[in-house]
């Protein structure tokens, strides 16, 4: 994979792709996150509504993001988040972190974690907790990339 | 046009007097008291960012009260649209329901009717709302999850099995494919030998607020607006008790707007549809009486009530003065209300029963015609039977135990209520003026202005919560460390598999030659903007053409829509 090669790992702002990877128009939360991430100094890209999982992964690669932040409020997270992970695996993308959120029942969280999706924040989570988690995952990813491309 | 709004704004400003009584009281009584008790004055604001004083007095009443209030059933209907309001007819208890398969939903509807619900309201799943069939690859994992799945007329037949369409009114929350679902409902009535003259109900069909807030569309705005025009004209002629549109602020509010923004953007959408009907050659009094509205009732109690009262006054005034309506029915703003989903918390869900009760009270005191009360578990999932029963019982308790529906507009004449109603009205007029300067609501939507206004309000509110300037009980105050999970409704994949199998069988059974013929005729008709498409869509539906097949005709001709970037 070419992505990440040209990034100055430690200095450049964290780059996040926000996406709702299914048929789900509830976008109030994702706009709040976009603003909050930007105010926290991150580069934010929003994938727009109804992106296919392929579009999400392609955008993440082309834009060279550190983190994909997925959000769904329609109950389809298990299927739809997995579709994104499957395509990442198919394309051999393993140096982008995937973080989840939305209306996610506790019992679904282990399955998501197992796919490598962390966070899985529910309603009412303070923005600071989400931002800190994104930063932590981005740091991990950059370290991974640094080791790989050294 | 701009001048008309300015005239209204100036008129309201002029109706406000100097408040000598308050000023005197503040100087002589309040200030010394505050000083003595070391009270630090701070600003109070409502959701719309309007300053709220600690006291309102007689001087706060606008000086043209006799003109702007109107008794119930009298122009400008501030106090209510019917002379006897709830004594004559209680609001319709209409619970938004739909999940899983059509059979699941049929069962839920009958359960609600058995428990005293007086109107039906159908929630469709995401694929249906976007015009995709259950077997589309995009629908995987979403079938029946957020509502009931309808891929063809066969599904509608199952939803309404053994329910008499001439006996109960039905509201359908469907927008982008509204014309298709409406056609299905009409054809279903025909098949049950119920005359279209006898069915009543509402289809949401308000596409402008989709671009603003709910974000469920298929085509560019002009294409959807043409379909709304066709529904409007067809229903006006053939289905006299059908509300062909429900102009909706609910979703605008849920997307993050303030009360004033909800009111202003919704009514601006309403004026657009009035303009459209007139442009299509109809007289305003032919179609305006069947226009209906749908508002949110959120948690700031008095602000919500004032919003409903202001909505009625503005609509009546503008319809009469600007559009020249003569029929009082054209001027009467009738509306459905749903309590706010956004105010429901995932934390300590039983608290939501209280929130919903307060919001429902505001709707009743605001004079709503029908009401949906949210269930306490809806921040988690679609509601269980038990949760939805509590929500329905909330309405029944309000209606039959509390006495709040005994007197019409009991807050009318309150210094605070009347002042707030007028101030909210003024703020709405300011938005109308602003929107006109941008070339109208459609331009304001296409440029992203409306969406940005809402996102800004929503973000500000979130920051208030984060900074603890605003309290949400159980979320940023009185937090329980040990939240226990509640029982929620689970929708298994069995629903999806069943729907997909059913659709496959249907496609094998139907006369596909006839399906293609009707779709071809629709395609040809669509190319001519002067043709009303409703009869063509009904022909497709009758032959069991699927939702997606019919939607795709429009996708071929009109293309799809990409929203303006607001970030």
Q: What per-residue confidence (pLDDT) applies to B562?
A: 84
Q: Provide the chain A residues 114-133 that lie in CB contact (below 8 A) with chain B.
A: 122-124, 126-128
Minimum CA–CA partner of A129 in chain B: B466
Residues of B in Cβ contact (< 8 Å) with A127: 462, 466
HEC states along B152-186?
CHHHHHHHCCCCCCCCCCEEEECCCCHHHHHHHHH
Q: Quote the CA–CA distance of B544 and B166 in Å, as a whole number.
A: 23
Q: Say how far residue B5 (Cα) sits from the centre of its chain.
A: 25
Task: Establish, for the pair of chains A and B, how many residue pairs have beta carbons separated by less than 8 Å.
Answer: 95
B196-248 pLDDT, tens digit per residue, is 999 999 999 999 999 999 999 999 999 999 999 999 999 999 999 999 999 99
How confident is the model over B330-335, as a mean pLDDT?
A: 98
- Interface-testing mutation among A75, A80, A127, with chain B (most B C-beta atoms within 10 A): A75
Q: CB contact, 8 Å: B208 with chain A?
A: no
Task: Tell me: pLDDT of B513 over 50.
Answer: yes
Q: What distance in Å separates residue A129's CA from the closest CA in chain B?
A: 11
Say whether B138 and A52 touch across the interface (CB within 8 A).
yes
Say whether B567 and A50 touch across the interface (CB within 8 A).
no
Option in A34, A36, A49 nearest B215 (CB)? A49
Minimum CA–CA partner of A38 in chain B: B567
The owner of tokens 């891929």 is B151
Per-residue confidence band for A4, with pLDDT thresholds at 50, 70 and 90: very low
Please, what is the Cα angle at B58 between B53 and B62, to 5 degrees? 90
Q: What distance in Å separates residue A27's CA from the closest CA in chain B?
A: 7
A89-137 pLDDT, tens digit per residue, is 999 999 999 999 999 988 999 999 999 999 999 999 999 999 999 999 9
Q: CB contact, 8 Å: B561 with chain A?
A: no
Q: Quote the CA–CA distance of B470 and B203 in Å, as a whole number.
A: 36
Q: What distance in Å separates residue B452's CA from the closest CA in chain A?
A: 10
Task: Tell me: pLDDT of A150 over 90.
Answer: no
Q: What distance in Å separates residue A68's CA from the closest CA in chain B?
A: 17
Structure tokens at B412: 């009318």
Per-residue confidence band for B492, with pLDDT thresholds at 50, 70 and 90: confident
A43-53 pLDDT, tens digit per residue, is 999 998 889 99
- What percentage of chain A has pLDDT greater than the value 70? 92
Minimum CA–CA partner of A81 in chain B: B141
How confident is the model over B5-14, as a mean pLDDT?
A: 97
Q: Which regions of chain A does DSSP assign to beta strands (E)?
A: 15-19, 43-46, 67-72, 97-102, 117-121
Q: The domain A15-149 is classified under which CATH number: 3.40.50.280, 3.10.580.10, 3.30.930.10, 3.30.2010.10?
A: 3.40.50.280
All domains of chain B in start order, with CATH: 66-466 (3.20.20.240)
Say whether A44 and B381 touch across the interface (CB within 8 A).
no
Residue B142 phi, psi dihedral angles, 5° rounding: -115, -5
Q: Quote the CA–CA distance of A65 and A4 in Å, as a whole number.
A: 8
Contact B519, B549 (CB under 8 A): yes
Contact B156, B185 (CB under 8 A): yes
Is the previous residue joined to A96 through a cis bond, with omega within 30 degrees of 0? no
Q: CB contact, 8 Å: B458 with chain A?
A: yes
Residue (of B550, B495, B375, B392) closest to B125 by Cα position: B495
């Amino acid at each position: 994979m070419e992505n990440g090669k040209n990034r100055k790992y430690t200095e450049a702002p964290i780059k996040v792709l926000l996406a709702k990877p299914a048929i789900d128009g509830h976008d109030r939360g994702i706009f709040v996150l976009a603003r909050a991430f930007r105010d926290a100094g991150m580069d934010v890209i929003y994938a727009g509504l109804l992106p296919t999982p392929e579009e999400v992964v392609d955008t993440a690669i082309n834009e060279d993001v550190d983190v994909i932040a997925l959000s769904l409020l329609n109950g389809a997270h298990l299927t739809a988040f997995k579709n994104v992970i499957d395509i990442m695996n198919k394309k051999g993308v393993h140096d982008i972190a995937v973080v989840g959120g939305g209306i996610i029942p506790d019992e679904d969280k282990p399955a998501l974690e197992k796919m490598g999706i962390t966070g899985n924040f529910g309603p009412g989570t303070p923005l600071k907790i989400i931002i800190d988690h994104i930063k932590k995952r981005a740091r991990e990813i950059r370290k991974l990339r640094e080791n790989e491309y050294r | 046009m701009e001048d008309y709004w300015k005239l209204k704004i100036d008129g309201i400003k002029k109706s406000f007097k100097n408040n000598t009584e308050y000023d005197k009281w503040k100087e002589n009584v309040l200030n010394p008291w505050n000083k003595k008790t070391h009270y630090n004055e701070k600003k109070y604001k409502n959701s719309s960012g309007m300053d709220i004083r600690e006291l309102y007095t007689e001087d706060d009443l606008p000086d043209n009260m006799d003109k702007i209030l109107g008794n119930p059933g009298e122009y400008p209907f501030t106090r209510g649209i019917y002379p006897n309001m709830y004594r004559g007819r209680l609001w319709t208890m209409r619970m938004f329901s739909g999940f899983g398969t059509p059979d699941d939903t049929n069962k839920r509807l009958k359960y609600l009717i058995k428990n005293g619900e007086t109107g039906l309201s159908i929630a469709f799943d995401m694929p249906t709302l976007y015009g995709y069939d259950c077997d589309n690859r995009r629908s995987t994992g979403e079938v029946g999850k957020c509502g009931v799945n309808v891929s063809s007329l066969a599904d509608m037949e199952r939803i309404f099995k053994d329910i008499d369409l001439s006996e109960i009114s039905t509201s359908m929350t469907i927008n982008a494919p509204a014309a298709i679902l409406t056609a299905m409902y009409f054809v279903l009535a025909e098949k049950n030998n119920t005359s279209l003259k006898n069915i009543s109900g509402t289809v949401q069909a308000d596409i402008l607020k989709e671009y603003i807030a709910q974000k469920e569309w298929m085509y560019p705005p002009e294409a959807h607006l043409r379909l709304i025009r066709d529904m409007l004209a067809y229903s006006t002629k053939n289905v006299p008790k059908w509300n062909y549109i429900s102009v909706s602020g609910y979703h605008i509010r849920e997307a993050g707007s303030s009360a004033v923004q909800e009111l202003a953007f919704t009514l601006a959408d309403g004026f657009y549809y009035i303009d459209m009907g007139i442009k299509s050659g109809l007289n305003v009094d032919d179609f305006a009486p069947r226009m209906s509205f749908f508002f949110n009732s959120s948690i700031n109690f008095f602000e919500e009530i004032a919003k409903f009262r202001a909505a009625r006054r503005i609509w009546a005034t503008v319809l009469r003065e600007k559009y020249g309506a003569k029929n009082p029915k054209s001027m009467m703003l009738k509306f459905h209300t749903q309590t706010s989903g956004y105010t429901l918390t995932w934390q300590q869900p039983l608290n939501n029963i209280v929130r919903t009760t307060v919001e429902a009270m505001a709707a009743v005191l605001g004079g709503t015609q029908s009401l949906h009360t949210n269930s306490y578990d809806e921040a988690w999932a679609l509601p269980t039977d038990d949760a939805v029963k509590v929500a329905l019982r909330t309405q029944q308790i309000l209606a039959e135990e509390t006495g709040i529906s005994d007197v019409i507009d009991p807050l009318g004449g309150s210094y605070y209520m009347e002042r707030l109603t007028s101030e909210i009205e003024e703020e709405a007029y300011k938005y109308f003026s602003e929107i006109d300067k941008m070339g109208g609501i459609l331009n304001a939507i296409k440029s992203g202005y409306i969406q940005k206004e809402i996102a800004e309000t929503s973000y500000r509110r979130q920051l208030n919560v984060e900074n603890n300037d605003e309290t949400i009980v159980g979320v940023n105050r009185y937090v329980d460390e040990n939240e226990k999970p509640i029982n929620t409704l689970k929708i298994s994949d069995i629903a999806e598999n069943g729907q997909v199998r059913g659709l496959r069988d249907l496609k094998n059974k139907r006369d596909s030659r006839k399906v293609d013929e009707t779709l071809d005729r629709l395609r040809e008709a669509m190319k001519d903007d002067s043709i009303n498409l409703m009869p063509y869509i009904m022909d497709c539906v009758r032959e069991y053409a699927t939702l997606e097949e019919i939607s795709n005709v429009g996708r071929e001709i009109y293309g799809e829509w990409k929203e303006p970037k607001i970030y």
